[in-house]
Amino acid sequence: MVLLQRPHILLLLIDTHQFLQCWIAFGSANEEGQQQEEFSEELLVKPLPDHKLLAHFHFQSSAPPSTSNGCHHHLFPKAISQLVQKFRVKEMELSFTQGRWNYESWGGFDPISSSNAKPPGVELWAVFDVPQHHIDASWKNLTHTLSGLFCASINFLESTATYSTPEWSFPPASGNVRYGTLPCEAVCTENLTPWLKLLPCRDKAAIALLLDRPSLYRGFYHSQRLHLTSTESSSEGIDSGIILEQTLTVVLQPNSERAIEVHASEKHVQPSWSLSSIFGKQVSGRCVLAKSSSVYLLLDRGLVAELKFPNKENGKSAANGLTSENFWSNPSFELSVNPDRIFLEESSSHSKSLSILYMFQVEKYSESEPFDIGLMWKVPVAWLCQQTPLHASRFFMGSGNERGAIAISLKSTQFTEGFMSANSKDGSCELRVDVFQVVPWYVKVYFHSLRVFVDQQPRAVSDFIEKIHVSPSKDKMSPGVMEVVLKLPCRVNTAALTIEFDKGFLRIDEYPPDANQGFDIPSAIISFPNFHASMVFLEDDSLNRSPLLSKFQEKCPVMSYTEVLLVPLTTPDFSMPYNVITIKCTVFALYFGSLLNVLQRRVAEEERFLKAKAAKKTGRLPLLLSKLSAKLRGSGINQD
């Protein structure tokens, strides 16, 4: 059998190869047309303050609208385009995350963290372009399709008790949004492989080659995301087709073995790293199908401020002269490869220092001369990432199996204090905070018990809550949704929201197999609509702009997710049904037995029978026995 099959495989290989060549030829032939399918791959590396390293892979494929190009695709994954056409998805985001984003040390204000920091497990939201009454059906089909595509239990999101309809607080503000999360979904390679299948070169070439599974999953945070925008079916004039954006964000610890051995004095020196030491692989050549493939190294604002580049004042001029060595040969660190270009951030009002972006083009390198960027730190540097205006954390209050309370506490981070005061006009500045919280139905939240504490003082709810939208949960039908817009004074130190709940009971068949683990309450989304995380880099040619950098320029509101909570519910002893059945059967048997006995018995007849028995001559032994029993009975009663 094996021998027989072999020629087929060979043939197939040749076929695909030829097909690939055809593709490329077709792509180039179509180049004259204004729109074509494009693919670009980028990797951004950023040192983090706590000796870790952030790697952000960004793959973007775009397809022109099908009206101009038909249903045939060269680069764009067919599965996705079919999905878009079938369910008329306008926008969709699916993320698989393992681990937690550490907002305190990895920051929360930059575009990477505010769009790539996701709650643990699976998060899916989608905007549909279908009439209102069709949305739920589309959502159900979409979840099933995605579940099949990504080997995950996304299909659990189909039941109405698991997803919700945010009205206005969720960023893509639209009535057609559906939002659902699965906090306890385990994420592993089986989810990554289908995700990689969507890439034209898979993980066989260029940057995707770095995606070495063991080193990826050894990391502290791992989030793969799939963002889809389609203007295919929109009624508006502009028609840009489908844009598929696939990102993978990992936080890794460079050479952790060495970190143990270093002495206390050396502990503050950031570990040096290179791509090969982190991923165990090197980038060799480019993916031939990609329009561009490049690697970026980002030094964020705090770090740049610490490093004190010699000519920070005339930074703009230095950026123009790209050959200027000032930016990449710094006394505090050393790069192993000379960057091809250096971008400086456009000065913004948010902070004094600007971040620097080094760009390396992978195209230049080949298999014989692989690309491997490394960073050597010479002096200890310590800096802080820019944090969200308020640090949010959420926890349970109370104990016991009956009731409790959810508390969302917001603490101001000193980091943003400075520019908040700058933002204020005449001392009466306000900080707007949006809170979006979904609660499963078995946690029965009493929305009237919402209380607000500002600076450790209980305050009236109406003083600080500008807008609130509540849709109470229905048992086994829909989760409770709370959307709150808080207006806090800028000088606020701490704020807290508490809301009480009762724990519900589930039917025995509604418990999951691991019921004693507890039940998850999905993360709340805290967003700050007044603040926009964007990084605008000075570029020469806006035509040839990289998708990653243009993504950075988009003004998205600063967002953060709170922790997932685990609520222990009362769980029955699952051997109980058996006991109950046994006891019930016994009771029934006793009851029916005695009932039948009573129904059958005829008292008069029995007496007659007794009399007849007494009249009849009985044997000696029964007589003796009956006498004895009579005696016993008599004595028993006499003693009373």
Partner 1 sequence: MAETKEKSLSDEKPKPRVRPIVRLGIFLISHSFHFSVVCCTAGVLALFLLPVLAKNTYISENALMPGSASPMLSNQHVSDGNRLVKDLTNPNSKSSETGIESHKIIAQYMLDLGAEVSFHKFHPQMNQFHPLHFFSSPDSGKIQENYSCSSYGINTVGIIRAPHGDGKEAIVLVTPYNALKSGFGEALSLGIAYSVFSLLTQVTWLAKDIIWLVADSQYGEYAAVAAWLREYQTPKFSSLSTPNAEMCPDVNNLFELKGHSISGSKFSNSFRRAGTMASALVLKVRDQNEQFEDTISIYAEASNGQMPNLDLINVVNYLAVHRQGLRVNVEKLWSLLNSSWLKSLGEIFESLAKVAKSLYPKWKFGIPATEYVEGTATLASSLYYQALGVPTGPHGAFRDYQVDAITLEISPKFSLDKVWRNDILLRGGRLIEGVIRSVNNLLEKFHQSFFLYLLTSPSKFVSVGVYMIAFALLIAPLPMVAASLYVDANSSSNCSKGDSSTPSAITDTDEHSIAIRSWRWLNSAKLVFIVHLWGAIVSLLPYFISQIPDCSPTTSFMIWVLLSILSLLTLNSVLASPLACAKATQEKEWALVKSVTISSVFIGLGLMSVINFATAEIGALLMVPMCLLAQPLKLDVRAGTLRSFCRMICNLVLGHIAFPPAAFFLLKGMLDGFGNANVGDFWMWVESLWAWNSATYLFIVEVTYIFSHG
Q: Considering beta carbons, is residue 169 or 416 the nearer one to partner 1?
A: 416
Contact 574, 134 (CB under 8 A): no
State yes or no: residue 332 binds partner 1 (CB under 8 A). no
Q: Considering beta carbons, is residue 139 or 221 the nearer one to partner 1?
A: 221
State yes or no: residue 213 binds partner 1 (CB under 8 A). no
CB 562 to partner 1: min, Å: 10
- Sequence-distant (6+) residues with CB within 8 A of 206 are 41, 283, 284, 285, 286, 287, 290, 293, 362
The H or E element containing residue 245 is strand 242-252
CB 402 to partner 1: min, Å: 8
| Neighbouring C-beta atoms of residue 468, cutoff 10 Å | 16
CB 271 to partner 1: min, Å: 13
CB 141 to partner 1: min, Å: 29
Q: Tell me, residue by residue from 149 to 188, as one string, x for binding to partner 1 by CB under 8 A and - for no binding.
A: ----------------------------------xx----
Q: Considering beta carbons, is residue 358 or 561 the nearer one to partner 1?
A: 561
State yes or no: residue 302 binds partner 1 (CB under 8 A). no
Sheet holding 89-98, edge to edge: 163-164, 177-182, 121-128, 89-98, 221-230, 242-252, 53-63, 38-47, 292-299, 356-361, 341-344
State yes or no: residue 542 binds partner 1 (CB under 8 A). no
CB 254 to partner 1: min, Å: 14
**Phi, psi angle pair for 435, to nearest 5°:** -120, 130
In angstroms, what CA-CA distances link 625 with 355, 514, 610, 612, 622? 108, 62, 16, 18, 5
State yes or no: residue 82 binds partner 1 (CB under 8 A). no
The H or E element containing residue 418 is helix 417-423
Which residues pair with residue 87 across a beta bridge? none
Interface segment toward partner 1; rule CB under 8 A; list 110-118, 381-389, 475-483, 549-557: 381-389
CB 494 to partner 1: min, Å: 8
Residue 114 CA to its chain's centroid (Å): 12
Q: Considering beta carbons, is residue 134 or 411 the nearer one to partner 1?
A: 411
Contact 503, 570 (CB under 8 A): yes
CB 104 to partner 1: min, Å: 5
CB 126 to partner 1: min, Å: 24
State yes or no: residue 254 binds partner 1 (CB under 8 A). no
State yes or no: residue 384 binds partner 1 (CB under 8 A). yes
One residue of 238, 603, 604, 621 binding partner 1 per CB under 8 A: 603
Q: Which of residues 396-455 bind partner 1 (CB under 8 A)?
A: 396-401, 407, 409, 411, 453
State yes or no: residue 529 binds partner 1 (CB under 8 A). no
State yes or no: residue 631 binds partner 1 (CB under 8 A). no
Residue among 180, 358, 360 nearest 282 (CA): 360
Burial (Cβ within 10 Å: 0-12, 13-18, ≥19) of residue 615: exposed
Question: Six-digit token pair at 617?
Answer: 């001559």
Contact 440, 489 (CB under 8 A): no
Interface segment toward partner 1; rule CB under 8 A; list 341-349, 389-397, 475-483, 499-507: 389-397
Residue 259 CA to its chain's centroid (Å): 30
State yes or no: residue 511 binds partner 1 (CB under 8 A). no
Q: Considering beta carbons, is residue 131 or 400 the nearer one to partner 1?
A: 400
What one-letter code names the amino acid at 315? G
State yes or no: residue 575 binds partner 1 (CB under 8 A). no
Question: Six-digit token pair at 390?
Answer: 């308020």
Coil vs helix vs strand at 247: strand
One residue of 151, 465, 496, 538 binding partner 1 per CB under 8 A: 496
Rg (CA), the chain: 34
Residues that contact partner 1, how many (by CB under 8 A): 65
Coil vs helix vs strand at 373: coil
State yes or no: residue 503 binds partner 1 (CB under 8 A). no
Residue ranges of E strands in 336-479: 341-344, 356-361, 374-377, 390-397, 403-412, 430-439, 443-454, 457-459, 465-471
Rounded Cα gap, residues 445 and 471, in angstroms: 11
Helices (H), 91-250: 103-106, 111-116, 135-150, 189-197, 213-217
In angstroms, what CA-CA distances link 537 with 55, 218, 343? 19, 32, 6
CB 339 to partner 1: min, Å: 28
Question: Six-digit token pair at 16?
Answer: 């695909």
State yes or no: residue 108 binds partner 1 (CB under 8 A). no
Contact 273, 380 (CB under 8 A): no
One residue of 175, 280, 331, 458 binding partner 1 per CB under 8 A: 458
Q: Considering beta carbons, is residue 189 or 494 the nearer one to partner 1?
A: 494
Which residues pair with residue 57 across a beta bridge? 43, 248
Q: Considering beta carbons, is residue 50 or 136 the nearer one to partner 1?
A: 50
Interface segment toward partner 1; rule CB under 8 A; list 125-133, 292-300, 342-350, 558-566: 558-566
CB 537 to partner 1: min, Å: 27
One residue of 15, 325, 463, 607 binding partner 1 per CB under 8 A: 607
One residue of 197, 258, 268, 555 binding partner 1 per CB under 8 A: 268
CB 100 to partner 1: min, Å: 5
State yes or no: residue 98 binds partner 1 (CB under 8 A). yes
Tell me which residue has tokens 């920091």: 117
Q: Considering beta carbons, is residue 361 or 571 the nearer one to partner 1?
A: 571
- Sequence-distant (6+) residues with CB within 8 A of 538 are 316, 319, 343, 344, 345, 346
One residue of 153, 193, 471, 498 binding partner 1 per CB under 8 A: 498
Residue among 367, 295, 290 nearest 335 (CA): 295
What one-letter code names the amino acid at 443? V
Q: Considering beta carbons, is residue 36 or 560 the nearer one to partner 1?
A: 560
Strands 38-47 and 292-299: parallel
State yes or no: residue 395 binds partner 1 (CB under 8 A). yes
Q: Considering beta carbons, is residue 445 or 564 the nearer one to partner 1?
A: 564
Rounded Cα gap, residues 292 and 284, in angstroms: 14
State yes or no: residue 104 binds partner 1 (CB under 8 A). yes
Residues at the interface with partner 1 (CB under 8 A): 49-50, 98-100, 102, 104-105, 120-121, 183-184, 218-220, 256, 260, 264, 267-268, 382, 384, 387, 393, 395-401, 407, 409, 411, 453, 456-458, 494, 496, 498, 514-518, 520, 563-568, 571, 603, 606-607, 610-611, 614, 633, 636-637, 639-640
